[in-house]
A = this chain, B = another copy of it.
């Protein structure tokens, strides 16, 4: 059997796993990223943890063909980290080279949302599709786009930045410095900002009492909406509208067969998804909706490991 390593480098934790070509997860483990100690230290600890798990699981090291890694930022040519928004590491970091030196296996890297998309394509909700739009809606919003079976990376690895489409010119400030981004409104952070702001003036919502104790989170809004809270339902309806608008831009530009929604906000499930599907025909060309499937992601937190291993597989043409 041939095996492929998958590394999912995150701001806080880094997940490390091994898969076979049939998408069986042989092992998975996790370490603290502790990026503050420097990239050499983190890469060392990732590679040591990987080798340790390989040994524990009695895998012949020669049967491991290659390693893939998802990184939190754009990647160039499947080898170089262009830059990290949230890690104190230098730009143009040759991450693939670093891992290859330590593990003595070919290594390929890509942006984390692209890697999640590959994971859902390999073993999740997008299995068997060749034209895929996968959107992760959590603290921020990012997308991976697969067209004709290939990830669209763009010139600088910055493709798929759907969260920064400006949906509301002169709208709410976004973390990127622009105003009115999709992410500013429709991410979990956006929902929380809107809820906490509206609760300053709305005192009838069931969320009002909760806000006296702590800041409202996105999940609180969905829970209250499901229980019939009027304000919470208004916020969820707006959320569905922004999601439909943002998704429609992706549909009109790349015409995927399937849209996969992942991340914390997608956990609201059909309650949210049914609203989005109802609004989509207002925004997306009917040709792009013809036969379109919209699904929740199925791999959860493991999507990055699956996708990173699959990245290595596909880059080697397996």
Using a CB–CB cutoff of 8 Å, the interface residues on chain A facing chain B are 74, 82, 131, 143, 145, 147-148, 150, 152-162, 164-166, 169, 176, 178, 241, 245, 248-250, 252-257, 282-283, 285, 287-288, 290-292
What are the residues of chain B within 8 A of A162 when measuring CB–CB? 252-253
Contact of A156 among B150, B245, B282, B288 (CB under 8 A): B288
15 examples of A-B residue contacts, CB within 8 angstroms = A145-B254, A147-B152, A148-B150, A152-B152, A152-B254, A154-B255, A154-B256, A155-B291, A157-B255, A161-B252, A165-B253, A166-B245, A169-B283, A249-B253, A250-B253
What are the residues of chain B within 8 A of A290 when measuring CB–CB? 156
Closest chain B residue, CB of each to CB of A288: B158
What would 17 more interface pairs be, CB under 8 Å, given A148-B150, A159-B253, A254-B254? A82-B287, A145-B253, A147-B150, A147-B154, A152-B152, A154-B256, A155-B255, A155-B291, A156-B291, A158-B255, A158-B288, A161-B253, A165-B248, A166-B282, A178-B283, A250-B253, A253-B254
Closest chain B residue, CB of each to CB of A129: B155
CB atoms of B252 and A153 under 8 A apart: no
Assembly CA distance A169 to B165 (angstroms): 14
Interface centre among A131, A164, A245, A256 (most CB of B within 10 A): A164
CB atoms of A166 and B283 under 8 A apart: yes
Tell me the minimal C-beta distance from A243 to chain B in angstroms.
13
What are the residues of chain B within 8 A of A252 when measuring CB–CB? 158, 161-162, 164-165
Assembly CA distance A176 to B292 (angstroms): 19
Q: In terms of DSSP, what is the predominant structure of the interface of chain A?
A: loop
Tell me the minimal C-beta distance from A1 to chain B in angstroms.
31
Closest chain B residue, CB of each to CB of A131: B155
What are the residues of chain B within 8 A of A255 when measuring CB–CB? 153-159, 161
CB atoms of A254 and B288 under 8 A apart: no
Tell me the minimal C-beta distance from A133 to chain B in angstroms.
9
CB atoms of A153 and B148 under 8 A apart: yes
What are the residues of chain B within 8 A of A154 when measuring CB–CB? 131, 147, 254-256, 288
CB atoms of B287 and A160 under 8 A apart: no
What are the residues of chain B within 8 A of A282 when measuring CB–CB? 166, 178
Assembly CA distance A283 to B161 (angstroms): 12
Tell me the minimal C-beta distance from A85 to chain B in angstroms.
10
Closest chain B residue, CB of each to CB of A177: B286
Closest chain B residue, CB of each to CB of A252: B161
